Amino acid sequence: MTQMDDIAIGLIGSGMMGQEHIQNFNLLDGVRVGAIADTDADMRAQGAALCATPVTPVDDFEKLLADPGLDAFVIATPNFHHIDVLRPALETGKPILCEKPLCTTLDDTREILARIKDSRQIFQVGMEYRFKPALADMIARVDAGEIGRLHMLSIREHRFPFLQKVDDWNRFNIHTGGTLVEKCCHFFDLMRCIIASEPVRVMASAGRDVNHLDERYNGEVPDILDNAYVIFDFENGARALLDLCMFAEASRHNEELCAIGETGKVECLLPQNIVARGARADWQMHSETIHIDQEILDAGYHSGATYFQNQAFVEAVRGAADVIVTAKDGHRAVAMGVAAQMAAAQARVVSMQEVGL
């Protein structure tokens, strides 16, 4: 694609994440949100109020897709709607940034892969955790060999329960793909990215023990998991652990990542944006806080990640860089989540071959 001075983004879905996209596109030079589509009137109004330039939001995303004045699309609808939006969006041939998870089922993610297989269409999946500056620093240190060959990676997220969404769609597995798909595909993507290998098997223990137990929606009780331990073995011999608890509001660090190699370790603590590292040779630990401009921090809830993710997407749209998180990455993260859900539900080790990896 040729260089563009002014890129007009069509945003489909202007809920919490869609509004975060708007605020971050507002900070990028030569980019504007030019149109918004959402079925919820309140979300449409809130999104329109945040745009740097006036927009007239619509309730039909098909109208937005047909707008010749738009250069690219961002899809931030509820998870289970992604496939319905992606099918016609792909027909436009225009660049797409689709929020995670790519889709809620492997049949749907495989369909997307098949549709773009021989296409040069720009397609990025919204795995913004890769773009958190402190995490990016940690990943760069692992890639540079600072800890030698990586053997163990642990990821701990201790946080608050799922937030309320429009119609509380995120309370049920059928709409989200399950907690280990909806919430944890970020972390499974990070595992693949940091370890630089593919998973071969997974074991998991998980439960629905504290959150949402007293909630009822049309007589139905939410079935999403609220805690889990998940362990993946990788082709290169490394292993990775996810420790998830969603009733742990009293946590000093919401997220802690630790990569341990044969010569040292590197840690990342969020949202404080601290990177700590040390070598076995001298037993010394060094730490630093990664600086992020306050304006960027104020534009979202992900330690600046959405700004840098959207910046990378815009660079790909302009033809100045390759897409960093591809549809294949999105598919594999969902596959890991599906396999982990199976392992927990069936109390057994699940081979990644069972989900087509």
Model confidence at 5: pLDDT above 70: no
Q: Is the pLDDT of residue 161 over 90?
A: yes
Q: What's the pLDDT score for residue 166?
A: 81
By the 8 A CB rule, do 183 and 244 touch?
Answer: yes
CA dist 8 and 160 (Å) reads: 35
pLDDT tens for 64-112 read 999 999 999 999 999 999 999 999 999 999 999 999 999 999 999 999 9
Residue 168 has pLDDT above 80, yes or no: yes
The first and second tokens of residue 306, run together, are 């959405």
Query: Which two three-digit tokens encode residue 179?
Result: 């907690």
Give pLDDT tens digits for 300-333: 999 999 999 999 999 999 999 999 999 999 999 9
The verdict on whether omega for the bond into residue 95 sits within 30 degrees of 0, i.e. cis, is no
| CATH number 3.40.50.720 given to 7-128 | yes
**87: helix, coil or strand?**
helix
CA quadruple 277, 279, 285, 288: dihedral, nearest 10: -30
- The distance in angstroms from the start CA to the end CA of the chain is 32
CATH number for region 130-301+329-355: 3.30.360.10
Q: What residue ranges do the domains of the chain occupy?
A: 7-128, 130-301+329-355
pLDDT of residue 163: 87
The pTM (predicted TM-score) of the whole model is 0.95
3-state SS string over 312-339?
HHHHHHCCCCCCCCCHHHHHHHHHHHHH
Distances, alpha carbon 180 to alpha carbons 243, 262, 280, in Å: 11, 30, 34
Same CATH fold, 130-301+329-355 and 7-128?
Answer: no
* Dihedral, CA of residue 311, residue 17, residue 61 and residue 82, to nearest 10: 90
